[in-house]
Structure formats: C-alpha cells, structure tokens
A = this chain, B = another copy of it.
Amino acid sequence: MNPDLSRERAAASFNPETITVILDGSPERTRRRREIEGLVLNDPSFQHEDPNFLSRSERYELAIKKSALMVQKMREHGISDPEEIYWFKSFVHRGRPEPLDLHLGMFLPTLLNQATPEQQERLFMPAWNLEIIGTYAQTEMGHGTHLRGLETTATYDPSTQEFILNSPTVSSIKWWPGGLGKTSNHAVVLAQLYTQGECRGLHAFIVPIRHMGTHEPLPGVVVGDIGPKFGFDETDNGFLKFDKLRIPRENMLMKYAKVEPDGTYVKPLSDKLTYGTMVFIRSMIVGDSARSLSRACTIAIRYSAVRHQSEIRAGEPEPQILDFQTQQYKLFPLLATAYAFQFVGSYMSHTYHRISAEIQAGNLNELPELHALSAGLKAFTTWAANTGIEECRMACGGHGYSRCSGIPDIYVTFTPACTYEGENTVMMLQTARFLVKSYKAVLSGKRLDGMVSYLNDVSQHRVQPHPVAGRSLVKDINDIQNLVEAYKQRAAWLVVAAAKNVNTDSKRGKRKEDAWNKNSVDLVRASEAHCHYVVVKLFADKLSEVLDVAAHRILSSLCLFYALHGISKNTGDFLQAGLLTTLQVDLVQQRVKDLLAVIRPNAVALVDAFDYSDTQLGSVLGRYDGNVYENMFEWAKKSPLNKTQVHESFHKYLKPLQSKL
C-alpha cells in the first residue's frame, strides 16, 4: 500500500463502509453486490487484455464473445433479478456498452409490453434463447427528437395481408440503433403506418432483417455499421434501409393498436403507458450520472493523494497535489456533486417504483410531475457529470490524457447520455413547460403538490423583480435549511419571470409558439434553477436518514459545501433576486474555501466509500493500493507499437529519404 494512501485512510473521521451501505441502501445489498462482482472477478474466462490496445473490430469481437458468455453464466448462476442482471453485466463489461444491450434492454421488454399473447408465444422464447436477436430501430438519419417527423413507412396491403416497409429518402434510413450493424437478425422498427389510404402515425413492427441461419441480410434490406464514434467501440450502432420489404400482418405489435386483415385500423385505448418506460430510463440515467462521476472522482482524488509535485514552501519536499487549494477547488465540488447525484438517483428510482404501483392501481396524478422531474434531472445531472468527468481528467495533469488513467473511457462512454433518451435542452424545455403550466394553475386558484408546491406562495410572495437594498432572506449561511429555502426562492423567481415574459410577448401579438422560442433561454435557466433546488433539497433531506454520527458529520459538511459552492457559482442570480446581500456573498465565498479544508482529510475515504474495485475502475492512476508508476510502466510496455523494438516504418519511409534529401 502506498504510504500516502495509508495515511489518508488512517486520518479519516468516519468508516467508509458505513457510507457504502448508505449508498447501496442496506448491508444485504452491499454484500450481494460484492458477491456478484466476485463471480465475475474470480472467473478466468472473463479476464482479458485492456481493450485500449485493440482495434475497433477486435473490441467488438471481444465484447460479443463476453456477452455470449455472460448470458450463459447468468443462467448458470441463476441471476434473474433485474438489478442483479444490471450488476453482473456491468461487472463483465466494466461499465462499457455491449452489442446485446438493445436486445436485452429494449427488444425483450418491448415484446413483453407491446406484443399480443399470440406474438409473445411465437417470439419470446426464441428471443430469450438468442435465436432471435433484436434491436430497437427508431431514430433515423434525419430525425431524432421529433418523432412525428420520422419518415419510414409501413403500408398495409390487404391483398396479401402484408406490411410494406420502405425508406423513401436517405434521411429516412434508420441510424444509431445499437447491435444493429452486425449482431441483430431482427428489429423493432418504428414506422408511419398507412392503411386504407390514411396515415395513422407511428407504430412498432417486428422486422426480420437477417437470415436466422446464415446471418445474411434479407432481400430488400440494406444494413450495416454506421462507423466509428467518439466511444462505444464495442457497439455496432447500425443503419437500416428498406426497399419495399414485405412482412406479414402479424408482425405489427398489436397489444394496443391493431390493423384488421381487411386494413381497418383499430385505435389504442391509451398511450400513457409507453410514457412510463421513458420516465424509467431517464431516472436510470440520473443514477448513471452519479456512478460515472463517482468513478472519475475516485481516480482523480486517489491520484492527487499519491502524486507529489511543485512546492508550496520553498525547499521542502514536493507536496501531495491534493494539498493545493486550487486542486481541492477543482475536485471537491465534483465529489460533493457525485454524492448529491447518488442520493438523487436512488430517490428517482424509489419514486418511479412508488408511482408505477399507483399507475397500476389506476392513479395517474403524479405522472406529469415525475415526467417533468425525470426530464429535467436527466439533463441537469448528465450535463454536470459530463463536464465534471473532464475536469477530473484534467486535474490529473498529463497522465489523465493517457488511456491508462481510465478517465477518457469513462467520458466517451458517458457523454452520449447528454443526447440520447431526450436531448438535454429539449428535456429542460419540457420541464419548463410543466413549471409554467403549474404557475398558471396557481394563478387560476389551484393548489400544487410535490416539488413545485413553492409556486403556491408566489402571488403573496417576496418574489420581486429586485431586492430591497441591504436586506436578504437568508439568515444564516451555515444553515442548510436556509440555503434550501434560498434555492427554492431563486427557482420561483426565475420561473415567474420566464412565465411572465412569455405571457407579455404573447399579449404583444407574438404567436404563442414564437413567444415561447423567444424566451427559451430564460425558460431553460428557470428549469435548471428548479432542478438545482431539487438536488440541494434531496441531499439535505437524506441527512436525516444517516444515523451514524461520524458519517452524518462528514455528509452534512459535504451537503453544506455543495449548496454554498452552487451559490458561489451563481451569485448573480442570488443577488439579482435579492436573496443574498453582497456582504453575504463574500461570506459564502470565504466559507466555501474554509470547507475545502474540512473535506480535505476525508477525501480519500469518501471516494473509497463508492467501493469500486480496481477491475471496475479500469484505471492505473486510480488503483486502491496507489501503486501507480510501476503499473503505468508495465501497462505501457504492452502497447501494440512496442511489439517490436525496431520499427519497419523507419526502414520503409525515413531511411530511403536520407539519401534523397
């Protein structure tokens, strides 16, 4: 063990295991998670070379080999609980995506949710046994966010009782679905349904795309890989183009909408339920934000405790870089954010399950707020984690840029989350729509529940365009409840201002939609403030559940630090809204620096508590034992460019040139 890390761990004021259990939810879950990780770590068939040394084709091949093995082993070990499957998968693939993700995560669930009993009977077992391997083909080259704009058509031909699938333009080619490029032989295809001469909107079809025996593309199908991306080397994101491909009528997923043999269209009863899946996935992404940022923080903070550089006092030995205030100021806000998002992630997951149960019981009341909250928090947390991961990388100096740091991999794996499952700005505007609607409801006399209930007081409120000079709402900047209140008032102030501006522009004769667009920057700002309030509130709420005194103390400091740092980065808002005086802003900025020193002795223990094994971190810089330099040297020697000491290129290109010049 590196002596710096030993010293850091000995100096911590709390036991990291206590916080690990808090993060997992219970000792039993911590135990089981570790047990499942052990199944992978101790299985020699899951050991492999660092994928960074492989070409993309080799990485894909390695991934599919491991995915096949993973399915087999999960069945052998009897792992079937969704959360346990998630753990097993992420241990096997070390947090990276894999070619069967869409089959397991979208194709099978879609069959379960949208297929008729007859279709399930016919398709589910073959899919379960990987004879049918499917993906979910929705996005097209020219259409992502705006589903109504999708161009792929499915035209019903009653004479043969078939649908004709067609890609009328280049922009209509299905683009991006994971596992489509090479792996799948089927796809759920979203297409505009035409029957009896009328367009009936988007519907889902089970479409065979490759021969189940030979794996050759079927006639009428052009399919392939969309080429290299920033990351996701293991995944064959694909394209799919139909040239009037015919599929039997029975391949339309008909649990809700139907097309009768004669072409008569039967409407679905409700479309609220597909809504639920979207909410679920976005809530999951909040948890992904927390985990990805936690991993990057673990690497950067451990490395900063081990790395010595420069000098604080002339002539003395080089200090740990974690002792530089500027380094603390880079990393500790991210550490606090990682903790905040961990708690927000588990709140979202619990809330989703609670509200799902109510939906099953027919109560849809809370769904709109959950929908708005999951959209906004998805955007808020992915943006913050995305920036934060790169800040962690750059806080590691040059070595952060080496693939051996593991952070480039975390970044390229995570960053698409800002775009997929709802582009972040679009998400923020969805939340804004809910906030403005809620505000209008208040104005018309309704009372609100849930996270937006602060809008209830808005009319008789202190929310004013500008502060009364020298007065402020916050009595004590060290009282977390005071700060939660300040975040709440800031959100209220921005929501009201944006809503009023939209309203004013509408009254001035702008079309409602143009007024919305013209104020969308402010609407996004209001949504962000709302989400920020929710995150601070949920972090503060969590503290009451922490019973261990030492854990409570450090998490309280971290929560206070998160709230104060957020204010110090947005002082303009708090000053403009009259929530703080300039003198208080000075105090906040000073207190943020004081808290850096409070967190400093516990920083390593706080990342240890995230409990990532070395294998899962995939980082030489972030090793638990701190043995960095020797391992970096061993890692480098394995670089493919070192397979021979002499490089042929020298003899081939440079040597002949010497005589010519």
Contact = CB atoms under 8 A, between A and B. Distances in A.
A596 B393 CA distance: 33
Interface stretch (A15-23, A285-293, A516-524, A551-559): A516-524
Contact of A419 (B323, B398, B516): B398
A646 interface: yes
Given A145-B397, A183-B649, A398-B420, 5 more contacts: A56-B640, A67-B653, A128-B661, A313-B511, A325-B520
Residue of A61, A429, A582 ringed by the most chain B CB atoms within 10 A? A582
A586 B525 CA distance: 14
Contacts of A57: 640-641
Interface in A625-654: 629-630, 632-633, 635-642, 645-647, 649-654
Contacts of A330: 425
A42 interface: no
Contacts of A574: 572
A171 interface: yes
Contacts of A658: 129-131
Residue of A61, A313, A326, A654 ringed by the most chain B CB atoms within 10 A? A654
A520 to B, nearest CB: 5
A307 B140 CA distance: 13
8 contacts: A65-B653, A71-B661, A72-B661, A145-B309, A182-B649, A390-B390, A394-B424, A575-B576
Nearest to A172: B629
B593 A585 contact: no
Contacts of A149: 309-310, 318
Interface in A530-581: 570-576, 578
A26 to B, nearest CB: 32
A239 interface: yes
Given A141-B629, A571-B572, A146 B56 contact: no
Q: Which 8 A-B pairs have the closest CB atoms?
A: A571-B572, A225-B641, A227-B639, A55-B55, A469-B469, A230-B408, A182-B647, A68-B653
A586 B329 CA distance: 30
A586 B65 CA distance: 58
Contact of A630 (B170, B224, B398): B170
A217 interface: yes
A185 to B, nearest CB: 8
A53 interface: yes
Given A398-B416, A398-B420, A639-B224, A633 B170 contact: yes
A142 interface: yes
A415 interface: yes
Interface string A176-187: 100001110000
Interface string A13-53: 00000000000000000000000000000000000000011
A111 interface: no
Residue of A65, A175, A638, A653 ringed by the most chain B CB atoms within 10 A? A653
A229 B403 contact: yes
Given A324-B517, A576-B575, A649 B582 contact: no
Nearest to A467: B582
A416 B323 CA distance: 24
